[in-house]
Amino acid sequence: MLMKFKTTLLVWMLGFMGIYLVSCVPQRKYEEAVKRADACEAEIKTLRDSARKVFDANAELKNQVAFHKKATDALSRDTGILGASYRQMRQQYDHINRLNEDIMRKLALLENQSKNEASSYSQQLEATRLELQKKEEELKRLERDLKALEAELNQKKLDLAAREARIKELEDLIAKQSNMIKDIKDKLNVALNSFKDRGLTVVEKDGLIYVSMEAKLLFASGSYSLENGAKEILIQLAKVLESQNDIDIIVEGHTDTDKLNSTTVPRDNWELSVLRATSVVKFMLANSKMDPKRISAAGRGEFIPVDPNDKAKNRRIEVIILPKMAELFKILDEAKK
C-alpha cells in the first residue's frame, strides 16, 4: 500500500512541473492553465491532506513496521534458535532414528537367532525330556529291582537268622555230645583201667569212642564163645553204657589175614568176625539194661587191619560208641533248606 502511494505522488509532481514549463503559451491557454493550476492546487491540497494522512499513516505504519520488524527480528532470532534447536533435534532424531533402525535390525537378527536358538533349545529340551523319561523309567525299574532285592534280602536275613539259630542249636548239640563223649570216655577209662595193660585201649577219634579189645582177652583161637575172663570186661563196659540213652553202639569183629576154611561153623573169617561180634552183643544185653535198639553187631573180616605186621592186634573186637545222629542230621537238613 505504501509503494502505491509513492508512485501516485511522483506522477502528480511530474505533471505539475510540465504545466509550469509551458506557462509562456497564449492567454487562453494561460487561463486554461490557470484553471488547471487552481484545480491542480486544490487537488494538490487535497493530495497534501491525503499525503499528510498518508504520511501520518506511513509514520504509523513505520512505527508498526519497526515494531513488527523488532518483533520479526525477535521472531527471527527465536526462529534461528528454534531452527538451531530443530536442526539439533533433527540431528538427534536422525541419530536416534538410525539407532532405532540399527536396533530394529539387531532385534530382527536376535529374533531370528532366538528362533533358531529356540528351535535348537526345543530340540535339546525334547532330547533332554526323552532322556529324563528314559532315566525315570530306568529309575523305576531300579526301584522295583531294589524292592525285590530288599524283599529277597529281608527273606535271606530271616533265613540266615533261622540258619544261625539252627547252627547255634547244632553247635550246642555238638558241644553237648562232645561233653557227653568225654564223660563216657572218662567213665570207661576208670571202669576198664585194670585191663589196659592186657590188650585193651580206649581212644576218642572224630567225636567217637573206640574201645578196642584184642581177641585173646575174649576168645580162644578160632572160637566165638566168650572166655570167663572176658565176661568181667564186658560187664564193666555194659554198666557204663547202659545208662547212656543218647548214644548208639556198634560192635565190630575183626580177624587176621590167616585163611579159615572149615566145613563147620565158623567156615571163614567173615563168619568168625560176625559170630564174635554177635556173642559180645548178646552177652552185654543179657547182663545189663541196655536197649537192644541202640546196639548192633558187624563182622569186618580181615579187611581193616590196624597193624599189618602184628596179627594179634588185628584180631580184635571194637566197640564203637557214637552219639545219636538223628537229631544232628535233622538240624543239618533244616539248615540246608
**What is the per-residue pLDDT across 205-251, written as a single tens digit (0 to 9) for each?**
999 999 999 999 999 999 999 999 899 999 999 999 999 989 999 99
Looking at the domain assignment, is residue 186 inside a domain?
no
Are residues 330 and 206 both part of a single domain?
yes
Cα–Cα distances in angstroms (integers) from residue 137 to residues 134, 148, 251, in the given order: 5, 16, 70
Are residues 211 and 77 both part of a single domain?
no
- Reduced 3-state DSSP string for the chain: CHHHHHHHHHHHHHHHHHHHHCCCCCHHHHHHHHHHHHHHHHHHHHHHHHHHHHHHHHHHHHHHHHHHHHHHHHHHHHHHHHHHHHHHHHHHHHHHHHHHHHHHHHHHHHHHHHHHHHHHHHHHHHHHHHHHHHHHHHHHHHHHHHHHHHHHHHHHHHHHHHHHHHHHHHHHHHHHHHHHHHHHHHHHHHHCHHHHHHCEEEEEECCEEEEEEEHHHCECCCCCCECHHHHHHHHHHHHHHHCCCCEEEEEEEECCCCCCCCCCCCCCHHHHHHHHHHHHHHHHHHCCCCCHHHEEEEEEECCCCCCCCCHHHHCEEEEEEEECCHHHHHHHHHHHC
Q: Over the stretch 25-67, which tens digit does the pLDDT of each residue have? A: 567 777 776 777 677 677 667 766 765 775 666 667 677 767 7
Instruction: Write out the three cell numbers for 301.
Output: 573180616
Cα–Cα distances in angstroms (integers) from residue 2 to residues 19, 25, 44, 53, 234, in the given order: 27, 37, 19, 12, 180
Q: Report pLDDT for 17.
A: 55
Question: Does pTM surpass 0.75?
Answer: no
Neighbour count for residue 51 (Cβ, 10 Å):
18
Looking at the domain assignment, is residue 286 inside a domain?
yes
Q: Report pLDDT for 183.
A: 96
Tell which of 65, 88, 111 closes a domain.
88
Q: Report pLDDT for 46.
A: 73
Are residues 196 and 325 both part of a single domain?
yes
* 206 Ramachandran zone, left/alpha/beta (phi>0; psi -120 to 50): left
Q: Report pLDDT for 231.
A: 94
Low-confidence residues of the chain: pLDDT under 50? 22
Are residues 211 and 325 both part of a single domain?
yes
Are residues 84 and 198 both part of a single domain?
no
Half-sphere exposure of 151 (CA within 13 A, CB side): 5
Are residues 83 and 204 both part of a single domain?
no
Looking at the domain assignment, is residue 13 inside a domain?
yes
Instruction: List the one residue out of 231, 221, 227, 222 whose CA is nearest residue 283.
Output: 231
Looking at the domain assignment, is residue 298 inside a domain?
yes
Q: Per the structure, how many domains does the chain have?
A: 2
Residue 243: give the domain boundaries: 192-336
Looking at the domain assignment, is residue 40 inside a domain?
yes
Q: Report pLDDT for 273.
A: 97
Looking at the domain assignment, is residue 108 inside a domain?
no
Looking at the domain assignment, is residue 136 inside a domain?
no
Tell which of 88, 107, 135 closes a domain.
88
Looking at the domain assignment, is residue 326 inside a domain?
yes
What percent of the chain lies above the pLDDT cut of 90?
40
Calpha distance 193→209 (Å, rounded): 15
Tell which of 64, 88, 112 closes a domain.
88
Are residues 328 and 197 both part of a single domain?
yes
User: What's the Rg (C-alpha) of the chain?
Assistant: 78
CATH number of domain containing 295: 3.30.1330.60
